[in-house]
Amino acid sequence: MTEAILSVAGLRSGYGRTVICDDISLQVSAGQITCIIGPNGAGKSTLLKTIAGVVSAIDGSIRVAGVEMAGLPAARVAGSGMAYVPQEANVFRALTTHENLAMGGWQDEGRTQAARDRVYDMFPDLQPLARVPAGNLSGGQRQMVAFGMALMLEPQVLLLDEPSAGLSPLMVGEMFETVRRVNAEGVAILMVEQNALQGLKTAHEGIVMAAGRIAMQGAASELLNSADVSELYLGSRI
C-alpha cells in the first residue's frame, strides 16, 4: 500500500450542538479512488464538508500530506493540496467557464494560465465554451467546469460530493469515466456517492457509513461482493 495523502483520525463534527459524524478515521492513499456510500442521513456529505473545512471539526485530526487542517476555515484549506467540489451550486453561474477556472486558481494567480491550459487539455469539450456563462451550460458540462476549477491548483486529493447527483443516466457513466481520467493523472479522490454500485465499481477503496460512523471499510471489490453491502445498499440496483 502506498502512503496516505489524506488521513483523518477520530474526527467528530456537526452543526451547533448536534453531532452528525463521530469517531471517523480513514485514509486515502496517493493516487487511489475511495468511495463513501451509505444511506441518506448517514453523515457522508457532512463528513466531506468537515474535511474541506466548510463545517468546522469539533474534535479529531485531518492531515493532508502530513499537514494538520482541522480547525482551518475553508478559505485556508483551499490551495493546501486538497480541493473540494460541493454537490450543488459548484460553479459560479454568472461567470464564464474561463472565469470559473480563474476563480479555481485564485490563490496562485501566477499559475493560472498554465493550469487552465492543462484543464482544457483534460476536458477538450470545455475549450469552445470558454466564453459561455456557466449558468447556461448543461449539467454534465457544469460538472466538468466544477472539476476543472477544483483541479486548477493541482491538488493531490480531490473531494467530490455526489458527483452523479442530478445527471441524466447517460451522463452518469460519462462522469465516472471523467473521475477515472482525473485519477489517471495521479490525483487521489475521495467521493461520496448515492449511486453505490457505480461508485464502488469506479473506486479502489470503499467505506460504508451509517448513523454518522464508519460501518465497514475495505477494498471496493470486496465490498461489492460482500453480502451485507449488496443486500443493504446495492440490492435493487444489481
Partner 1 sequence: MNLQIFVNALVNAALIAPPAMAFSLLFGVLKFPNFAIGGYITLGAFAAYTFNVPLGLPLPLATLGAMLFTGFVVWLAHVWVFKPMQDQSAVTLLVVSIALTLILESVVRLFFSADVRGFDIPLERPWKFWGARITREQVEIIACAVVLATGLHVLLRHTRIGRAMRAVADNPMLAAIRGVDAAKITALTTVLCGAIFGLTGVFAGLDLVIEPLVGWNLTIPIFAAAILGGIGSPYGAILGALLLGLAEELTILVLPSTYKIAVGFVIIAIFLLLRPQGLFGTAEIKK
Partner 2 sequence: MSAYLVSMATYAGFFIILALALNLQWGLTGMVNFGIAGFYALGAYTSGLLSAKAGWPLGMSIPMAIAAGFAAGGLVALLSMRLREDFLAIVTLGVGEVIRLVVLNEDQITEGPRGLRIEAQPFQSLIAPENYPVFYLGFVAFFVAITYWICERIRKAPMGRTLRAIREDDVVAGVLGKNVFRHRIQIFAIGGGFMGLAGALYAHYSQNISPEVFMPTVAMFIWMSVIVGGAGNNRGLLIGAGTVIMFLEGTRFFGDVLPWLDAETMSSVRIITIGLLLIVTLRLRPRGLLPEPKFTYTKDKIAG
Residues that bind partner 1 (CB under 8 A): 52, 54, 73-76, 78-79, 84, 86, 89-95, 99, 102-104, 106-107, 109, 135, 149
Cell of 175: 462522469
Cell of 8: 483523518
To the nearest whole angstrom, how small is the minimum distance from the Cβ of residue 50 to partner 2?
Answer: 11
Q: Which does 209 bind (CB under 5 to 8 A by kind): partner 1, partner 2, none?
A: none
Backbone angles phi, psi at 3, to 5 degrees: -70, 155
Q: Which is nearer to partner 1, 88 or 231 (CB)?
A: 88
Q: Which is nearer to partner 1, 132 or 210 (CB)?
A: 132
Q: Which is nearer to partner 2, 15 or 177 (CB)?
A: 15
Q: Which is nearer to partner 1, 29 or 46 (CB)?
A: 46
Q: Which does 208 bind (CB under 5 to 8 A by kind): partner 2, partner 1, none?
A: none
To the nearest 10°, the Cα dihedral for 61, 65, 68, 73? -100
Q: Which does 201 bind (CB under 5 to 8 A by kind): partner 1, partner 2, none?
A: none
CA distance 141 to 45: 23
Cβ-based neighbour number of residue 73 at 10 Å: 10
To the nearest whole angstrom, how small is the minimum distance from the Cβ of residue 8 to partner 2?
Answer: 19
CA distance 93 to 206: 33
Backbone angles phi, psi at 28, to 5 degrees: -115, 120
Backbone angles phi, psi at 207, to 5 degrees: -130, 130
For residue 171, the Cα-to-chain-centroid distance in whole angstroms is 17
To the nearest whole angstrom, how small is the minimum distance from the Cβ of residue 12 to partner 1?
Answer: 22
Please answer whether residues 218 and 205 qualify as being in contact, where contact means their C-beta atoms are separated by less than 8 angstroms. yes
Q: Which does 74 bind (CB under 5 to 8 A by kind): partner 1, partner 2, none?
A: partner 1
Q: Which does 52 bind (CB under 5 to 8 A by kind): partner 1, partner 2, none?
A: partner 1
CA distance 139 to 141: 6
Q: Which is nearer to partner 1, 90 or 198 (CB)?
A: 90
To the nearest whole angstrom, how small is the minimum distance from the Cβ of residue 128 to partner 1?
Answer: 20
| Amino acid identity, position 124 | P
Q: Which does 89 bind (CB under 5 to 8 A by kind): partner 2, partner 1, none?
A: partner 1
Q: Which residues bind partner 2 (CB under 8 A)?
A: 15, 20, 45-46, 55
To the nearest whole angstrom, how small is the minimum distance from the Cβ of residue 10 to partner 2?
Answer: 21
Q: Which is nearer to partner 2, 2 or 40 (CB)?
A: 40
| Amino acid identity, position 157 | V
Cβ-based neighbour number of residue 68 at 10 Å: 10
